[in-house]
Amino acid sequence: MPEDFVPPPQNQAPPPPPPYAVPPPSFPPPYPNYPLQYVPPRRRSPWFYVGVIGGSIATVVLLFTFMVWMTVRSATGSAALDLGGGSRIAVIDISGVILSPEEIDTQLRKFGEDSSVKAIILHINSPGGGAAASQEIYHEVLRVRQENHKKVIASIESVGASGAYYIASACDRIYANNASVVGSIGVIMEWTNYGDLMHWAKLKSVAIHAGELKDAGDPSRDITPKEQAYFQGLVDNMYGQFIHDVATGRHSTDAKIKPLATGQVWTGEQALPLGLIDKVGGFRNALIDTARSVGISGEPSIVRPAKNKRSLLGLLTGDADDIFPNPSQLLNRAPGFYFMWK
């Protein structure tokens, strides 16, 4: 055995742990070894199932009611649900230039047939528009009054002139503010003569027609004396219709209305003694008076037509001319007859 070998000491204690050492954790003994037992699931009360089934049925009924209401709303064009048992006043806005009677006639027809609507107010802020369009709305107002037995009231806001006044004259009563613009009973025919523009651009209009007056009103040339007399006759005829219809609607005579049919306008304050309106007052006055006249006490419920909102997708997929008018259409304007205040 080599001399440098030193045997390890016997029964020597292990070296002490360093001062920073953490003693090992001591855990409690495991849970007692109890025997396993079967625990049956808790049975729910029968009322729990009654509540679940009842809630499901109530939800289905509410959804069905909502769907029916949406269907009725779409069919009637109403913007509100009738909760007053037939005590509503319908309000139809007539604003801007009147170009087509279709939308207003449809609203009048639907509200006229709606038994929950007791009266209709035409809230007017318009200088008029197309002669035929204004006349058609006028006759629809008379029809609703006569066939549906509904009161139709006109409330003029800022402007109720020419074709707009034509429509108002068919109503049971006309309200206007003191500073409202009323009247302008008259007819105008106009078009744009762009003959000089075509001459400058070295363009020529070519028309082949049969009938001496077939191309009357050609905007590429000046009007002839015969064409002037021809168009004046048409305007005079429409003018007479305007006077007669206003006289009929206002329970007056043509002889009394004709001196007022100069095309001029009056304020509401001036129009009252002339018999062109029935009362000076705003929309609120017209609403309350109308409600009381049809037996509605308290604050009347107002219903308006549902508005057609165009989505972004509709704008993108629709006719581009609705967003960006084609300049060439400005040169395609035919002569038109208007009941409109300029």
DSSP states of 214-262 as a string? Answer: TTTT-TTSPPPHHHHHHHHHHHHHHHHHHHHHHHHHTT--HHHHGGG-S
* pLDDT for the residue numbered 131: 93
* pLDDT for the residue numbered 332: 46
* Tokens standing for residue 296: 């509605």
- For the chain, where are the E strands, in sequence order? 88-95, 117-126, 128-130, 151-161, 173-176, 181-183, 188-190, 265-267, 279-280, 301-303, 336-340
Q: Is the pLDDT of residue 110 over 90?
A: yes
In 3D, which of 68, 12, 342 has the Cα closest to residue 186? 342
- For the stretch 170-202, what's the b/e string if a residue is b when 16 or more beta carbons lie within 10 angstroms of its beta carbon? bbbbbbbbeebbbbbbbbbeeeeebeeebeeee
pTM above 0.85, yes or no: no
Pairing relationship of beta strands 279-280 and 173-176 according to DSSP bridges: parallel
Instruction: Write phi, then psi, for 187 (nearest 5 degrees).
Output: -125, 140
The more confidently predicted of residues 160 and 216 is 160
pLDDT grade for 35, boundaries at 50, 70 and 90: low
Count other C-beta atoms under 10 Å from residue 59's C-beta: 10
Query: How do the domains of the chain map onto residue ranges?
Result: 82-306+327-340
Determine the Cα–Cα distance for residues 1 and 48; give it in Å rounded to an integer: 91
* Tokens standing for residue 99: 């170009």
Residues 242-276: pLDDT tens digits? 999 999 999 999 999 999 999 999 999 999 999 99
* pLDDT for the residue numbered 72: 53
* pLDDT for the residue numbered 113: 94
Mean pLDDT of 141-155: 96
Pairing relationship of beta strands 336-340 and 188-190 according to DSSP bridges: antiparallel
Q: Is the pLDDT of residue 213 over 50?
A: yes
* pLDDT for the residue numbered 208: 87
In 3D, which of 80, 79, 17, 112 has the Cα closest to residue 306? 79
Q: Is the pLDDT of residue 78 over 60?
A: no
Q: Is the pLDDT of residue 310 over 80?
A: no
Q: Is the pLDDT of residue 104 over 90?
A: yes
Q: Active-site residue among 162, 169, 184, 301?
A: 162
Q: Is the pLDDT of residue 37 over 70?
A: no
Mean pLDDT of 37-56: 70
pLDDT grade for 18, boundaries at 50, 70 and 90: low
pLDDT grade for 117, boundaries at 50, 70 and 90: very high
Q: Is 183 left (phi over 0), alpha (psi -120 to 50) or beta?
A: left
Angle, in degrees to the nearest 10, between helices 102-113 and 131-147: 0
* pLDDT for the residue numbered 233: 94
Q: Is the pLDDT of residue 11 over 80?
A: no
Beta carbons of 243 and 254 less than 8 angstroms apart: yes
* pLDDT for the residue numbered 232: 92
In 3D, which of 283, 302, 311, 336 has the Cα closest to residue 156? 283
Beta carbons of 90 and 303 less than 8 angstroms apart: yes
* pLDDT for the residue numbered 7: 63
* Tokens standing for residue 22: 């953490």
The more confidently predicted of residues 317 and 113 is 113
Count other C-beta atoms under 10 Å from residue 259's C-beta: 8
CA dihedral over 300, 301, 306, 312, signed as positive or negative: positive
pLDDT grade for 83, boundaries at 50, 70 and 90: very low
Q: Active-site residue among 95, 100, 205, 214?
A: 214
Active site residue 214: yes
Determine the Cα–Cα distance for residues 310 and 285; give it in Å rounded to an integer: 33
Determine the Cα–Cα distance for residues 197 and 217; give it in Å rounded to an integer: 17
Q: Is the pLDDT of residue 214 over 80?
A: yes
* Tokens standing for residue 76: 């009637």
Active site residue 162: yes
Q: Is the pLDDT of residue 229 over 70?
A: yes
Please name the fold of domain 82-306+327-340: 2-enoyl-CoA Hydratase; Chain A, domain 1 (3.90.226)
Mean pLDDT of 299-327: 62
To the nearest whole number, what is the mean pLDDT of the chain? Answer: 81
Strand, helix or coil at 62?
Answer: helix
Residue 80 C-beta-side C-alpha neighbours within 13 Å: 17
Determine the Cα–Cα distance for residues 44 and 228; give it in Å rounded to an integer: 94
* pLDDT for the residue numbered 86: 60
